[in-house]
Amino acid sequence: MRACGAWVWTRGLGGHVKRGRLIVFEGLDGCGKSTQLRRVAEALRERGLDPVVTREPTDGAWGRRIREMAQSGRAVAPETELAWFFEDRREHMRDVVRPALEAGRLVLSDRSYLSTVAYQGARGLDAAKILADSEAEFERPDCVLLFVIPAREGLARVAARGGVAEPVFENLEFLERVEAIFEGLDLPGLVRIDGRRSEDAIAAEVLAVVLGQLDGLHEAMP
Ligand code: ADP
Ligand code: TYD
């Protein structure tokens, strides 16, 4: 396992220093990231911490539009899909993530821009450009936990989970292309987690990584 980098960087014209921590949970549909995010948030609350828990696509207007499209089974043009995810993220960063980080909070996000790199890259768009554009515009996570599971197993879990199907994204051939892009990612702060193990074994590893990220968080606050 590669350790997350303890990134602190400046952004904006004023050279404003980011104070909170952003940890993103990524992976294929059914990889178990939402289960693990919930569990680690509970474990942190038991320790008296108060993480901000959030997700993309969001529950805002753009996120709802994306989910409706995904559930309808009628895909839009890849460029349109890409634009919707960017709009959703723009609002999410502005309204939720950035204010929380500026207040020194720990933010746990179910997906962020590496999903766009992998999923919209798998639609045939330029993954490297999506990554570069995203890094130029959005908050970079301090750490990304990438839950690794074969596409076929993830899909089987999604089917067993039930709930509303999203056929635009949940099909094997497409998810295998997404998997290949995730596999090729090599970025600072990216930690791969074997998602095929028991929930408990994974939860122990996730908690250790997240606690490691909190070192110095409070010292950094005003
Ligand atoms: P995601 O958010 O990545 O789509 P979920 O966390 O919703 O995935 O998990 C998908 C399904 O798989 C759920 O029904 C969940 O209970 C189950 N699941 C989660 N983690 C594991 C695991 N380690 N082993 C087996 N099943 C799991
Ligand atoms: P969601 O319904 O939250 O599913 P999951 O529980 O698997 O995260 O996510 C909707 C779908 O949107 C999911 O299949 C992944 C896809 N997606 C993209 O294609 N691009 C993106 O930028 C994001 C954030 C999600």
The pLDDT value given to residue 14: 42
Q: Any idea which residue has 């497409």 for tokens?
A: 174
Q: How far is the CA of 166 from the centre of ligand 1 (A)?
A: 16
Residue 32, ligand 2, Cβ within 6 A: no
pLDDT category of residue 215 using cuts at 50, 70 and 90: confident
Lowest mean per-residue pLDDT among 29-33, 132-136, 165-169: 165-169
The ligand that comes nearest to the alpha carbon of residue 35 is: 1
> Which SS3 state, helix, strand or coil, does residue 151 take?
helix
Q: What is the mean pLDDT of the chain?
A: 91
pLDDT category of residue 219 using cuts at 50, 70 and 90: low
CB 117 within 8 A of CB 178: no
The pLDDT value given to residue 142: 96
Lowest mean per-residue pLDDT among 6-15, 38-47, 173-182, 204-213: 6-15
The pLDDT value given to residue 64: 97
User: Is this prediction's pTM over 0.85?
Assistant: yes
- Dist CA 145 CA 33 (whole Å): 8
The ligand that comes nearest to the alpha carbon of residue 160 is: 1
Q: List, in sequence order, every residue forming a beta bridge with 109; answer none if it has no partner.
A: 24, 54
pLDDT category of residue 211 using cuts at 50, 70 and 90: very high
144 phi, psi to nearest 5 deg:
-120, 125
CB 115 within 8 A of CB 161: no
Residue 33, ligand 1, Cβ within 6 A: yes
> Which SS3 state, helix, strand or coil, does residue 198 take?
coil
Residue 144, ligand 1, Cβ within 6 A: no
- Dist CA 74 CA 65 (whole Å): 12
Return the CATH number of the domain spanning residue range 2-216.
3.40.50.300
